[in-house]
Amino acid sequence: MKYARIFTISIREQLAYLPAMFVRNLFFIVLFFIFYSLWTAIYQSRTTLEGFTIVQMIWYLTFAESIELARSGVMTQIQDEVKDGTVVYGLVRPFSYIIFKISRAMGESIIRCLPVFGIGFVFAYMSVGPLDGYLTALPFGLLLLIGGLLLNVLWQVNIGLLSFWFEEIGPFFWILTKLVFIMGGLFFPIDLYPGWLAGIVRYLPFAFSAYWPAKTLVQFNHGVFLTGLQGLLIYATLLFSCSAALFTIARKRVHVQGG
């Protein structure tokens, strides 16, 4: 399948930059120790916090950050193509422009995830020790982690397509990232919110980008996994449909100027 080939080509291209990605993500070590110090202080007088031990909390941060820091550059790529007019070449090629961008971005995101995942694994293990049930939860959590990467890609594709209407799409991306920070459970589990708020936020699309994959890995049970999987499928379908509709409308606005 051509899109699978595009995906594998993207992975091979990104593997060439893997050492540089490790260096670029070393700042995650600083972030890790900031939160490690914070949670250590909080857990001095308790053993659990809303059902999470300090071991689970540190590992949760590792998994959630792996998804967030693996964002691809697809949004900027689409914006640049719209600005310089090269997007028109994507309209005449024998494949879907949207699926092409998603396939390339997923290959990029998966490889970008590896350095953060690896760095986080080493420092979480060194700081708080192994996570109980890790090997059992890993295949289920990795599936949701890939789903979280897909949601991030779809969000970026939709924002990138707004370039057909807006000169600068950075503010839309800024709003999205802040929503993921606050409502996606990026830095700490949504369970720590007041009950009424957590009941709403955990079912918003932002939570399925970070919270549900990370929670599946640190507090695995089949109910958590199935809820996360169902939400990912629903929101991925909605976001893909939205991007397809945006592109259908946007391509009517394309005007080729010059030679």
Digit-coded pLDDT (tens) for 39-75: 889 888 888 888 899 999 999 998 888 888 888 888 8
Residue pair 64/214 in contact by the 8 Å Cβ criterion:
yes
- What b-and-e string marks burial along 1-18, b requiring 16 or more CB atoms within 10 Å of the CB? eeeeebbeebeeebeeee
Nearest CA among 73, 94, 126 for reference residue 3 = 94
**Structure token digits, residue 64:** 């959630």
**Structure token digits, residue 51:** 């059902």
Q: What is the pLDDT along the chain (259 residues), one digit of tens a residue?
A: 777 888 888 888 877 777 777 777 777 788 888 888 888 898 888 888 888 999 999 999 988 888 888 888 888 888 888 887 777 766 666 778 898 999 999 999 998 888 888 888 888 898 889 988 888 999 999 999 999 999 999 999 999 999 888 888 888 999 988 888 888 888 889 999 998 898 999 999 999 999 999 999 999 999 999 999 999 999 999 999 999 999 888 877 665 444 4
What is the C-alpha separation between 172 and 155, in angstroms, rounded?
10
**Coil vs helix vs strand at 220:** coil
- CA–CA distance from 85 to each of 94, 156, 170, 248, 253 (Å)? 18, 19, 19, 17, 12
pTM score, two decimals?
A: 0.91
How deeply is 35 buried, as exposed, middle or buried, from its count of CB atoms within 10 A (0-12, 13-18, 19+)? middle
